[in-house]
A and B are shown apart, each in its own frame.
Chain A
Amino acid sequence: MSAFLATVRRDLLLALRRKSEVLTAVFFFVIVTSLFPLGIGPEPVLLKKIAPGILWVAALLATLLGLPRLFSADHLDGTLEQMALSPSPLGLLVAGKILAHWLLCGLPLVLLAPVLGLQFDLDASTLGILTLALFLGTPLLSLIGAIGAALTLGVRGGGVLLALLVLPLYIPALIFGAGAVEAHIAGLDAGGHLSLLAAMLVVAGFFAPWATTAALRIALE
């Protein structure tokens, strides 16, 4: 467990020394979600209708921005090799890296979402559901993305391949995440959508670190 926390601390410390890399994803999210209200103009009904989809797609793409760097830096300087040979289980270290990725690229989006949602004329309770859905959904995006990042590690032009590989896998998260907010706006109960999202998170939390570890071992051969 101490190795898990050490990995999280290490990746957070590294991000602190290179703030620009983390801020890129957050700024991307802010800019993209702000462009739509500016482009469409003051039409509250339309904005309210498209808000869940736009916020979710933007969160998806912002998460994707940080993914190629998840393992590539460690792969290039050989620290990934050292992790694979460490007496600590690699799966634990990988889980730590995924958690650090979510803290850096996912959690800021969750915290910003209520502010950005205001641009779409969402009321307080809808903003609450949106934040909750993103809180359950963004770790899922990090977990699934880590598998893709490990599979495309060391591949030339891996960034594009990563997007092609990971984006289709994000569709369930997008449907239920945006669906929860849409249901709430329509006056229905969002509980079903959120429960499914939470269930997917539990399953991914269990399998994704394991699958990522297997893919990393192949990439290191």
Chain B
Amino acid sequence: MLDVSGLACSRGERRLFADVGFSLAAGEWLHVQGENGSGKTSLMRLLVGLSPADAGEIRWRSEPTPSIEFRRDLIYLGHHAAVKEDLTPLENLRLAAALDGIELDERAAMAALIRLGLRGREELPVRVLSAGQKRRVLLARLLTRPAVLWVLDEAFNALDVAAVKLLGELIAEHLAGGGMAVLTSHQPLPVPGGKALVL
């Protein structure tokens, strides 16, 4: 469903990577590996359509991206916290869903937060939460936003052992349900199977 071919990217004079290609089918995931500065994040941003590629083609369900359909199927979580510090986790989740045009009721949002271990924190402003807890608020979006393709850039950062295990479970469930995932990480990931791409 996701077909990438001949992708190239450079920053200024420096060529980060060239001729990167892979394809993913339902239930498969890709582990993007590489040293610091090898272009993992750049690849992720190209993939989701935030920045244009120098060369190459990305196709989603045989259609060139970015398209509205691709955005509907995609969830991208990057380095940024991407949560508003002045709002509570509950408000963050519900407003993020509303911006995507999804009506998310309070019970569903609460269920996602509880699954992520944020019970009792849902009414606190995000600014008083720890870095790991902020990360969990963001990860709760994986549960509230129906998407086929998960693109997670260093999603395991700042998480404790239990949260790493939980995220591994979430990804495994997602894949079992016919989803796809592209992950970057320096650590070995607690998700079985998976293709590897080394930049």
Contact = CB atoms under 8 A, between A and B. Distances in A.
A198 interface: no
B95 interface: yes
A14 B78 CA distance: 22
Contacts of B81: 77-78
B52 A221 contact: yes
Contacts of A81: 50, 76, 78, 80, 82
Contact of B50 (A84, A87, A88): A84
Contacts of B78: 78, 81
A83 interface: yes
B85 interface: yes
Nearest to B91: A13
B145 to A, nearest CB: 10
B98 to A, nearest CB: 3
Interface in A106-135: none
A214 to B, nearest CB: 13
Contact of B100 (A14, A17, A86): A86
Q: Is the interface of B mostly helix, strand, loop or mixed?
A: loop
A156 interface: no
Contact of A78 (B80, B91, B101): B80
Given A3-B101, A77-B84, A87-B71, 6 more contacts: A18-B86, A77-B80, A77-B81, A78-B80, A81-B50, A82-B99
Nearest to A78: B80
A4 to B, nearest CB: 10
A2 B74 CA distance: 20
A6 interface: yes
B50 A85 contact: yes
A6 B95 contact: yes
A149 interface: no
Interface in B67-92: 68, 71-72, 74, 76, 78-87, 91
B151 to A, nearest CB: 9
Q: Would you list the 3 A-B pairs with minimal beta carbon distance, nearest first?
A: A78-B80, A6-B98, A78-B82
A70 to B, nearest CB: 15
A121 B33 CA distance: 71
A221 B87 contact: no
Interface residues of A, number: 25
Contact of B84 (A79, A86, A89, A93): A79
Interface in A50-109: 77-79, 81-89, 93
15 contacts: A3-B99, A7-B99, A9-B95, A10-B95, A13-B95, A14-B86, A78-B80, A79-B83, A81-B50, A81-B78, A82-B76, A87-B71, A88-B99, A220-B51, A221-B52
B99 A6 contact: yes
A221 B50 contact: yes
A168 to B, nearest CB: 31
A78 B79 contact: yes
A162 B100 CA distance: 30
Nearest to B134: A77
Given A17-B86, A78-B79, A83 B50 contact: no
Interface string A185-221: 0000000000000000000000000000000000011
A7 B95 CA distance: 8
A87 B95 contact: no
A85 B46 CA distance: 12
A78 B50 CA distance: 12
B100 A87 contact: yes
Nearest to B50: A220
Contacts of B32: none
A17 B101 contact: no
B49 interface: yes
A134 B132 CA distance: 47
B139 interface: no
Nearest to B125: A17
